[in-house]
Structure 1
Amino acid sequence: MTTTIPSTSGFTKNNTTASTGGGLTNPSPSVTPTKKKITCLKIKPLSLKPTVSNFEEETWNKLNNAVVAIQKKEKICTGQEELYQLCSDLARHKKSESTYSKLKLLCSKHIENVIYDLGHKATTDHTTFLNIVVKSWEEFTDQINMIRSIFLYLDRSYVMTIPDKSIWDMNLQIFKQNLKINEHLLKKIISGILILIKHERSGESIDKSVVQRLIRMLTSLHLYEDEFEKSFLEETRSFYSNDGLNNIDKLNVPEYLQYVESRLRQEVDRVTNYLSKLTKKPLIQIVENELIKKHVKTILDKGFEELMDLNRIMDLNRMYGLFKLVNELDAIKEAFTVYLKIRGKRIVDDDQNDKNMVQDTLQFKSKIDQLHEQSFHKNEEFKHAIRKAFEYFLNIVPNKPSELIAKYIDGKLKNSKGLTDDELERCMDNALTIFKYINGKDIFEAFYKKDLGKRLLFGKTSSYDAEKTMISKLRAECGTQFSNKLEGMFKDIDISAELMKGYETSAEFKKFINEVGEEKDRALQIASSLGVKVLTLSYWPNYTPDTLNLPMELSLLQDSFRDFYTHKYSGRILKWVSNLGQCSMKALFPCGKKELIISFYQAVVLLQFNSKEKISVRELKQSTGIQDEKQLILTLQSLAFHKEKILKKETKGTQVEENDIFFVNEDYSQSKTKIKIDSFQLKETKKEREETTEKVLLDRSYVIDAAIVRIMKTRKQLTHQQLLTEVLSQVRFSIQGQDVKKRIESLIDREYLERDNNSQAGSANCIYHYVA
């Protein structure tokens, strides 16, 4: 292909001058000419030299025809390379601006026609219409690409100097302007897209590719955010507002939560498939608000308790995750706290279930811990709520949980059959998990110490090591002040064992054997089986000393041990607590000889029947030396109404009166040779438990008095509010301001404190002075 370029003076190239008639080059004079074949450049002369204006017009006509052919989808007569060259020629001759303007005008007219045609087709149904729009848009973009390839030189030279005016952007801008002018058409396109999306949300199948291409069109035209997104989000809000109201009533809570999750996944997929990524955040936020946030209270009221009761871990986890999305975890936490308090109070208040209260509480705690870990993601605020709730319901009935926890541990340490050491320790750890929530730790200490004393004195503990492990755990939880007395009890038991070894080799022991005389063998047998436990009064519970009418051998043996002990520890006094003693007694029944393991009280009562066949309660009281009538009645009941009925009462009924007469049961039969008869006095009665609690409460008043005096002795003068604050910070049990006020008044009466004359008693600003 030959291209002629007009020029007024011909062409020059490589210092070779060309003329219309041809010719040879003239060699330099300094070079000797040689014979060589010369090839001459021949240029065909122009028959007519065109002007610049003719060149621009003719060139543009060719470009114009090509553009029109593209727009009309007709065949282009001129080759693309030639068209590109024509555009570049215009640009080199500084015709870029006029060429760009002509092209813009040409494209504008075409776009107007395209929009006009679409406007006429907007009356069809939305599906058909949207397909027409997609087809027209894609044809249009294909045309822009073809036109841009022809005018590429212009796009890369002249247009580069004009921001955002590339041929592509210019066409899109014109398309956008015409589309916005034809408002009805734009609304038709947007409403059509929204209808398709609504159908998809309703479960219908749609052509997602159509929506995807239309969204791309709007994005390319910069109409997505301004024209589509706002309408789309409003439509979404309306749809899910109705959707939430319809389904919250129709579905149960687990189903509704699953439904919300599926809706959120669908909207995320929708963004992935055809929406802008920038729409994701406001879109998901709308769905969350309409389906979750607006129905938080309804969801919790309708199903939270049921999910907790049924231990629905996955559903609660789903609820936690969804509520977290809308910053409503406080609502779950509040419902969680209320649930714990109600269910926990139900466990503690059930007087018929005191025996299982601790076990039920531990099972409840285990369940809550599992939910906290698996459903509530170990949230620290929920952990704090658990602590507060357990502290609430475990102290709502004062002192009762403290007593029952002590009894629970007592039961495990007395009877650990079927439990390994690890399982037993786990039981102790579990008990301590709820022990730390109770305020009445002094109540627990009193009952634990009382039960521990019985376990140590009667050999009822299943594991000495487990007992010491429990003490170490209590020391770690409450400090050494709490565990000192308990550790002292173990120390007394160990020292007593050493004392007995010393006594068996002592002079007092030998003296006792020699004094018995003829019954020496029997005395030696009794003395060898003696096991005395010397208890330090301040460590152990308050046991009441007593004096029984013991058999002569036992009475002498007591005196012998007392002599041994006072000789070893001068200045100390021994007091015997017989109701804590146990012994082995041989008895002859018609069914044969039996060995009875019984208490000292039981033994003394049974010995009276060696001399008489029938004895009244009044006579037994005198002959045994048991002055406490209640203890005597309990002892008789344990012998007459136990499953091992050693004695019988003449009158019917289990009530024992002073004139009732008892006699030995001659019909007693038992295949076992060795029989253990539990003593009723070892079983703690309700009155004894109340007495233990009352004693602790009395001790508390002494502790409060000591705290008040200690504070006032240091500070000399304080207001009522200041004194109350310091006392509450020092005592380790829960008290009320009224309790402190009573103790202050008591100290004023006893002249430890005095009230300022100008102060009103009990008021926050009342001033107290230390005067003791």
Structure 2
Amino acid sequence: MLQPQKSREQSTVNTCLVSGRGSGAPSALERHRQAEHYDGRSDAVDFDEAWNILRSSLHEIHSKNASQLSFEELYRHAYKLVLKKKGELLYQKVKDFEEDWLAQTVQPQVLASISPTILCLETEAATIAATVNEKRADGEKLLRSLKGAWEDHNLCMNMITDVLMYMERVYCKDFRKPSIFTASMGQFRDCVLRSPIQSDHDRRTTIGKLVTAVILYQIHMDREGDIIDKALLKSCVYMLEGLFESEEEDESTRLYLTSFEEDFLLASRAFYSTEGSRLLLDADAGTFCRHARKRADEERDRCRSTLSPLTLPKIKAVIEEELIRRHLGDVIALENSGVRYMLDNDLVDELEMIYDLSARVDSDKVELRKAVQGRIKQLGTDVNHAASNVGMSGVVKQALPKPEITNAETGETEPQVKALDKPVNQQTAAAIQWVDDVLRLKQKYDLVLLQAFQGDQILQTAITRSFSDFINELDRSSEYLSLFFDDHMRKGIKGKTENEVDVLIEQGILLLGYIQDKDMFERYYKKHLSKRLLMKRSISMDAERQMISKMKLAVGNAFTTRIEKMFLDMNTSADLTSSYKQYVNSLGDPDPRRVELDVSVLTSTVWPVETLMTSTKEGESRSACIFPAGIERVKHGFQKFYLGKHSGRQLTWQAKLGTAEVRGFFPECKGQKKTRDLTVSTHGMLILLLFNDMGKDDTITCEEIQARTNIPMNDLFRNLQSLSVAPKTRILRKTPMSKDVKLSDRFSFNESYYNPAQKIKVLLVTSGNQVEGLEERSETERKNDDERQGVIDAALVRIMKQRKELAHQKLIAEVIGQLNTRFSPDIPMVKKRIESLIEREYLERLEKEPASYRYLA
């Protein structure tokens, strides 16, 4: 009855002995349970006999002859020994067997695969000459031998563990012993990997160290572009990951971490340090960046496919330190390929790579930020110098006026001659060009920020600060930006679509955001806007209003309040002019020679009237011009009409700001038509009307004209230049004929003046908005400083009224904080305003530390 059962046992065990650790079929587990029900206490157990059977079976398993073994029989022998309290002896016997097997069988096989060509890899000796291919082949031979030994040992120990399962469950658990599998892994470590090798150089090393050296050499070959067996390396790495320094099997004591990874990181550090220095000498910045990114990707892939993912952050840190961080500053600064070269040549891809490398090693991108800022400031300084070096002098040399002639048939204005070669026009063109250059520079770096720097906020802040710095280094930036707007509002937006105009305005408003002294810009913008409005030079009032709306959004309501009132005055004046014409018509005046009047009534506190009038020395009075009786009658009639509606107000006539349309009769001109319609300034009208009462050959001096009209001298000179010197508008004859006008020069009416056009517009030299001369600039700055004093006073009073008492430093800080959106207050000026308020008894100084002030109600 026993024999058939034994046959059945033998026939069923064969399949589970090759299944691997813990992978026996369910039928085998059932037999485990059946065997445990066996009561062997009544049977005497001969340990030696049982052990001999087990030892023989272990030998067969290691010799790969396990197919004829009976699992249940072997399990029962081990079970009986453990049941009879022989578990400790059995445990030790198995360990001894495994140690002998590893030392006498496995170790010699592995040692036999070691050749002299690879011993030098660990010993760093170079006495044995060998090619790369020889070292690779011999290294792979060792790794394959070790791989086979390790896999065989794993397979056999899985099968042996199944046989000794009861011992593991009872003896090992009760006595807190490592499992026989764990113990045997430690034996493989000690008997194989830590087995010493006697080299030719009388130095003792171990198989494990040599394996590490071989793997490192294989990785080095891979880095150099040679072909290696990555699957073989992965198997050996898997072995190192499965072995521990001790039987406790703590994760931090894996041999991969303790015996391999540290050497791998050291070798990698040396490799990349050397490679980085070599690349810096041999390659350009773009090549360096591409190679660094390629290396980072290679190490990532190597950790995922060949080594352990645990190594990825560590090797990443090595690359970032040795290959990137150590050389990044030098790469960025490379003269003919670094960041400056990339920026100048729009190498967006290279810039994106160098940004990526910078972001890896420096969250603040210090080196890249410095390079970008430095280049922007240098380019900005060049733009500033180009604009400043265009003929700027204390006395601005005026250009002769170039008339605009209106074709009688088409009604279109025809510009005759360009005057950009004249000093004033050169300066104005340079101012507009400055804004264009800054905008192009801004667009370029906006694109770089978006495409190369991924919209990085740190770099965006750096770029913004750089633009702000160089823009504010130019003391005329406010004036230039206002002239840019003025040029486009007068002619630049002609023919542009609504979207193009919108983009243009937004670009200009963007630059306005960089300007610190926005109060100075407001002063210039009001000055230039006033001429556009009064002289009807603006192409589109819708564009003007759109500009104001965008300014309001960008810098606040307070900035645009007075500008908006200028538009309100113009609208009110149009209604007032219409009402006045209706009023005159209602009087029934039949005079066909009555002068028609269009009036613009300007609020003196809103409009920059002083900047539009002829500048005079301090204390010099400005007398009103002397108008002919007919003009005076019209003036008086309107003044009566206006004051009847607005009693208590005062009107001051500003002749310089007006224009007049007069009809001239030239009896000796060639052609059938003897009359021409002339558009001149109000001062020009006063000059021409003087000649109505003079004979054909009568002359009058400049000094006499001034006495009879009371036109300010500078304005008189400019008007006489326009009427007698400009080639196309010589309505008067000048004696002697010269470009300059002197008080003694004599003038007469040119009865033979001819121009093919019917309507002629006589332009003054300064009829357009232009760059201020040094004297004008100084006067503008003085007035702006005067206005700032009032603004600072108001801020001081407002703060102290709320705080009652405040320390000096805190008061200064709060004033600057409140006003820096409008201008950057000068600290000495703030201190002077505090002293002024103390003198005027708005504040008092407190006798305590730190220095403080009290508000006096």
Question: What is the one-letter code of the residue matched to 1:195?
Answer: Y
Provide TM-score, normalisation by structure 2: 0.75
| Shift, 1:264, TM fit | 0.5
Partner of 1:180: 194
Partner of 1:3: 3
Give yes or no for the alignment of 1:696 onto 2:696.
no
| Shift, 1:244, TM fit | 0.9
> What is the alpha-carbon distance in structure 1 between the residues aligned to residue 183 and residue 805 of structure 2?
90
Give yes or no for the alignment of 1:457 onto 2:534.
yes
SS in 2 for 1:656: coil
Give yes or no for the alignment of 1:108 onto 2:99.
yes
> What is the alpha-carbon distance in structure 1 between the residues aligned to residue 158 and residue 855 of structure 2?
104
Indicate if the aligned counterparts of 1:509 and 1:560 stay in contact, CA closer than 8 A. no
Of the candidates 479, 485, 508, which is equivalent to residue 403 of structure 1? Answer: 479
Indicate if the aligned counterparts of 1:320 and 1:329 stay in contact, CA closer than 8 A. no
- CA 667–63 in structure 1, closer or farther in 2 if over 3 Å, else same: farther
Give yes or no for the alignment of 1:655 onto 2:655.
no
> What is the alpha-carbon distance in structure 2 between the residues aligned to residue 149 and residue 573 of structure 1?
112
Indicate if the aligned counterparts of 1:60 and 1:99 stay in contact, CA closer than 8 A. yes
> What is the alpha-carbon distance in structure 2 between the residues aligned to residue 249 and residue 259 of structure 1?
14
> What is the alpha-carbon distance in structure 2 between the residues aligned to residue 571 and residue 306 of structure 1?
69
Indicate if the aligned counterparts of 1:546 and 1:577 stay in contact, CA closer than 8 A. no
Deviations 1:383-426 (A, max 9, x none): 3334433333332334x212222222222222211212222122
Indicate if the aligned counterparts of 2:660 and 2:679 stay in contact, CA closer than 8 A. yes
Give yes or no for the alignment of 1:130 onto 2:220.
no
Deviations 1:15-52 (A, max 9, x none): xxxxxxxxxxxxxxxxxxxxxxxxxxxxxxxxxxxx96
Of the candidates 379, 383, 394, which is equivalent to residue 347 of structure 1? Answer: 383
Matches within 5 A, 1:266-285: 266-285=298-317
Matches within 5 A, 1:228-307: 228-302=260-334, 303-307=338-342
Of the candidates 364, 369, 375, which is equivalent to residue 441 of structure 2? Answer: 364
Seq. identity, %: 29
Give yes or no for the alignment of 1:94 onto 2:81.
yes
Deviations 1:735-767 (A, max 9, x none): 2221123334555666766767x89xxxx9556
Matched residue count: 707
SS in 2 for 1:85: helix
Partner of 2:524: 447
Question: What is the one-letter code of the residue matched to 2:560?
Answer: S
SS in 1 for 2:637: helix
Matches within 5 A, 1:623-772: 623=708, 625-642=709-726, 644-646=728-730, 647-651=732-736, 653-663=738-748, 669-684=754-769, 685-686=772-773, 687-708=775-796, 720-731=808-819, 732-746=822-836
Give yes or no for the alignment of 1:538 onto 2:605.
yes
> What is the alpha-carbon distance in structure 2 between the residues aligned to residue 296 and residue 145 of structure 1?
48
| Shift, 1:462, TM fit | 1.5
After TM superposition, the structure 1 stretch with the greater mean CA deviation from structure 2, 413-422 or 537-546, is: 537-546
Indicate if the aligned counterparts of 1:500 and 1:531 stay in contact, CA closer than 8 A. yes
Indicate if the aligned counterparts of 1:598 and 1:678 stay in contact, CA closer than 8 A. yes
Provide TM-score, normalisation by structure 1: 0.83
SS in 1 for 2:473: coil
> What is the alpha-carbon distance in structure 2 between the residues aligned to residue 5 and residue 57 of structure 1?
25
Indicate if the aligned counterparts of 1:62 and 1:83 stay in contact, CA closer than 8 A. no
Partner of 2:241: 219
Indicate if the aligned counterparts of 1:84 and 1:150 stay in contact, CA closer than 8 A. no
> What is the alpha-carbon distance in structure 1 between the residues aligned to residue 52 and residue 96 of structure 2?
14
> What is the alpha-carbon distance in structure 2 between the residues aligned to residue 203 and residue 574 of structure 1?
90
Partner of 1:326: 361
Indicate if the aligned counterparts of 2:804 and 2:855 stay in contact, CA closer than 8 A. yes
> What is the alpha-carbon distance in structure 2 between the residues aligned to residue 273 and residue 699 of structure 1?
73
- CA 234–749 in structure 1, closer or farther in 2 if over 3 Å, else same: same
> What is the alpha-carbon distance in structure 1 between the residues aligned to residue 158 and residue 3 of structure 2?
21
> What is the alpha-carbon distance in structure 2 between the residues aligned to residue 270 and residue 714 of structure 1?
68
| Shift, 1:691, TM fit | 3.0
Gaps of 5+ in 2: 7-42, 119-135, 197-204, 245-254, 391-429, 614-621
After TM superposition, the structure 1 stretch with the greater mean CA deviation from structure 2, 255-264 or 607-616, is: 607-616
Partner of 2:451: 374
> What is the alpha-carbon distance in structure 1 between the residues aligned to residue 508 and residue 153 of structure 2?
80
- CA 4–560 in structure 1, closer or farther in 2 if over 3 Å, else same: closer
SS in 2 for 1:3: helix
| Shift, 1:709, TM fit | 5.4
Give yes or no for the alignment of 1:209 onto 2:238.
no
Question: What is the one-letter code of the residue matched to 1:445?
Answer: E
- CA 110–392 in structure 1, closer or farther in 2 if over 3 Å, else same: same
- CA 317–579 in structure 1, closer or farther in 2 if over 3 Å, else same: same
Deviations 1:652-710 (A, max 9, x none): 54222212234556775543222222222423452445433322222222333444456
Larger radius of gyration: 1
SS in 2 for 1:497: helix
Deviations 1:431-479 (A, max 9, x none): 2212122222221111111222111111111112222222223333343
Partner of 1:384: 461
> What is the alpha-carbon distance in structure 1 between the residues aligned to residue 592 and residue 5 of structure 2?
150
Question: What is the one-letter code of the residue matched to 2:163?
Answer: L
After TM superposition, the structure 1 stretch with the greater mean CA deviation from structure 2, 110-119 or 268-277, is: 110-119
SS in 2 for 1:94: helix
Matches within 5 A, 1:51-90: 61=52, 64-65=55-56, 67-69=58-60, 71=62, 76=65, 79-80=67-68, 82-90=69-77
